[in-house]
Amino acid sequence: MLKISPDELKLVAQYIHDISGIFLDQSKSYLFETRLGSIATEHGCNTYKELYQKAKTEPSKIIERKIIDAISTNETLFFRDKGPFELLQHKLLPELIDARTPASPALKTNLKIWSAASSTGQELYSIAIIIKEMLPNISKYTIKLLGTDISDGAVAQASRGKYNKFEMERGLPGDKLQRYFTMFGDSWTIKDEIRAMVQFRKLNLMLPFVGLGKFDIIFCRNVAIYFTLPDRQKLFNKIADSLADDGYLIIGSTESLTGICPRFIPKRHLRSIFYQKK
Amino acid sequence: MRNMTILVVDDDPVIRRMLEKRLEKEGYEVLIAEDGYQARKILPQQHIDVVLTDLMMPGSIGGIEVLDIAKKISQNIEVILITAHSSVDTAVEAMKKGAADYLEKPINFDELFLRLEKIANVQSIMRNALDLSQAMDTTESAAALTIQNLEIRTAELQSRIESIEAILRDEQNPAYDRIYKVLDLLSQKNDLLI
């Protein structure tokens, strides 16, 4: 494995922060080496400084994309941590549907949900499955489920909706597996009826959110933990701007908005917490 | 590492006996099925790590069907197909369907043992990863509980501070009244300070 020098650590950490907002602890040089070493070798770089210069100047941005793919963590599961999904099913969606259903039955109910760091898509597909099961008369709704992630690789995999057995290992109950996935060999593919409900695209949460509009529910779980405090403050401020006044925000179960965004207040439902704007 | 259970499926009694002997000598637990039908009975009843099956067997349950049955029971069951040289194409198709590997006849035992070793390694890494993620889940839910309590409590205290400030700044009321109001508020919500 190619070793990284202290000077290179500084340089590369700054570069990664610039392109992705992700703040990597410079005391953990192995993080850089295990994730970037093979990219350096693959592109014929003998040092990380060379890799940095190549990535920065290369017009196709291929190396930059590879670095983002390698740095962004894709550990994610279907129905990872039951709490948020029970919350969605038993509290947020029923409340929202009550609030959003128009008086005239001829009109459709609009729902917009955003998975802000969708990784390889498991979270958004889990949301889609819940909605599908909750709303038998789904044609009476206009539902927009958007997943965004900074990694092109993750967005591509999410759009394919194909997972290997390691990615399927936990979280998904057997009946849902059979009902919503097609097995072929060692891989599982989400069925078209669910895939058609969702949309994935690339988005860097550090940049302005352009053309997203307002959402009724935003999931932003376990992504801000990779950002610095000022970046977290900026992020949740932008999220507050993108959330409907009576909308809901769900963050990771070990995350907190205390000292990060005073525009949100936490509310408890059973064993979960969600946030609403003040 | 070697305590894997292997189901040998082959209609040829000579090959069955040979596989059974060699595998047991290597320390594996061995179960035997004389054809696909027996394999179909045994698979759901026993814990099996690896199925070693002949590709071509009499009847409608051949190696490919055994593969399908095993994978439906558990994705964690690995299947190695034994094939004649002429059916290598079918074996490659089987690998696309999830078979771990295939071996050509006559069986080279060194090769077989290497493949089994590799499967054992992967399974042990898998178990380790699962243990780690379960440990992470436990840590995470404990941390989540603490953080959520703190989060709610902090928000409540914050809103209380704001009400206290509003009362104290309300110059319409005499200072004395304001102090009493604040003390009242504090005593009402004393539980928050615990």
B8-35 tens-digit pLDDT: 999 999 999 999 999 999 999 999 999 9
Q: Is the pLDDT of residue A22 over 80?
A: yes
Q: How far is A64 from chain B (nearest CA, A)?
A: 29
Q: How many other CB atoms are found less than 10 A from the CB of residue A217?
A: 23
In this predicted structure, what is the pLDDT of residue A187? 87
Radius of gyration over every alpha carbon of chain A, rounded to an integer in angstroms = 20
Taking CB atoms and an 8 Å limit, are B98 and A169 in contact across chains? no
Domain assignment of residue A235, yes or no = yes
* Alpha carbon of A184: minimum distance to chain B alpha carbons (Å): 6
Return the CATH number at A256.
Answer: 3.40.50.150
| Residues in chain B within 8 Å Cβ distance of A273 | 148, 151-152
Name the band, by pLDDT with cuts 50, 70 and 90, for residue B193: very low
ipTM over 0.85: no
Shared-domain flag, residues A117 and A205 = yes
**DSSP tag of B87:** G
Q: What is the pTM of this model?
A: 0.81
> In sequence order, what are the beta bridge partners of B54?
B82
Size of interface A-B (CB pairs under 8 A): 56
**Both A161 and A237 in a single domain?**
yes
Give a yes or no: residue A132 inside a domain. Answer: yes
Q: Does residue A241 sit in the same domain as residue A151?
A: yes
Q: Name the helix (H) or strand (E) containing B163.
A: helix B109-169
Are A22 and A136 within one domain?
A: no
φ/ψ bin of B57: left (φ > 0), alpha (ψ from -120 to 50), beta (otherwise): beta
Whether A28 maps to a domain, the answer reads yes
Instruction: Give the pLDDT band of residue B191 (cuts 50, 70, 90).
Output: low
Give the residue-averaged pLDDT of A163-167.
82
Residue A169 predicted with pLDDT over 70: no
Residues of A in contact with B152 (CB under 8 A): 266, 268, 273
Calpha distance A126→B96 (Å, rounded): 27
Residue B165's Cβ-count burial label (10 Å; 0-12, 13-18, 19+) is: exposed
The whole-angstrom distance between residue A274's C-alpha and the CA centroid of its chain comes to 17
Amino acid at B116: L
Q: What percent of chain B shows pLDDT beyond 70?
A: 96
CB neighbourhood size of A48 (10 A): 24
Could you tell me the residue ranges of all domains in chain B? 5-107, 139-193
Q: Which has the closest alpha carbon to A245: A270, A273, A265, A268?
A: A265
pLDDT at B129 over 90: no
How sure is the predictor about B189, in pLDDT bands with cuts at 50, 70 and 90? low
pLDDT at A81: 78
In A9-131, beta strands by DSSP E = 109-115
Which residues in A lie closer than 8 A to residue B137 (C-beta atoms)? 81
Q: Before A136, cis peptide (omega within 30)?
A: no
Q: Is residue A1 part of a domain?
A: no
Of A73-77, B33-37, B89-93, B157-161, give the lowest mean pLDDT range: A73-77
Q: What is the pLDDT of residue A28?
A: 86
* pLDDT (mean) for A189-214: 96
Query: Cα distance from B32 to chain A (closest Cα, Å)?
Result: 24
> Would the CB atoms of B141 and A253 count as touching at under 8 Å?
yes
Evaluate whether residue A257 is within a structural domain. yes
Q: What is the pLDDT of residue A152?
A: 94
Same domain, A51 and A106: no
Residue A21 belongs to what domain range? 6-71
Residue reference for tokens 């949100």: A264
Distances, alpha carbon B114 to alpha carbons A134, A212, B103, B120, B125, in Å: 50, 54, 11, 10, 17
Confidence of residue B194 (pLDDT cuts 50, 70, 90): very low
Report strand pairing: A272-277 vs B5-9: unpaired
Average pLDDT, chain A: 92
**Per the structure, how many domains does chain A have?**
2
| Within-domain flag for A29 | yes
- On whether both A146 and A228 belong to a single domain, the answer is yes
User: Which residue in chain B has the smallest CA separation from A271?
Assistant: B145
Domain check: are A41 and A179 in the same one? no
**φ/ψ (deg, to 5) at A125:** -65, -35
Residue where a domain terminates, one of A71, A104, A124: A71
Rg over alpha carbons for chain B, rounded to the nearest Å, is 33
The average pLDDT across A21-35 equals: 90
Cα distances from A80 to residues A114, A123, B17, in angstroms, run: 16, 7, 47
The answer to whether residues A168 and A43 belong to one domain is no
Closest approach of B150 to chain A, Cα-based (Å): 9
DSSP code, position A225: G
Residues of A in contact with B144 (CB under 8 A): 83, 253-254
Average the pLDDT over each of A101-105, A169-173, B54-58, B139-143 and give the range with the smallest value: A169-173
Q: What is the CATH number of domain B5-107?
A: 3.40.50.2300
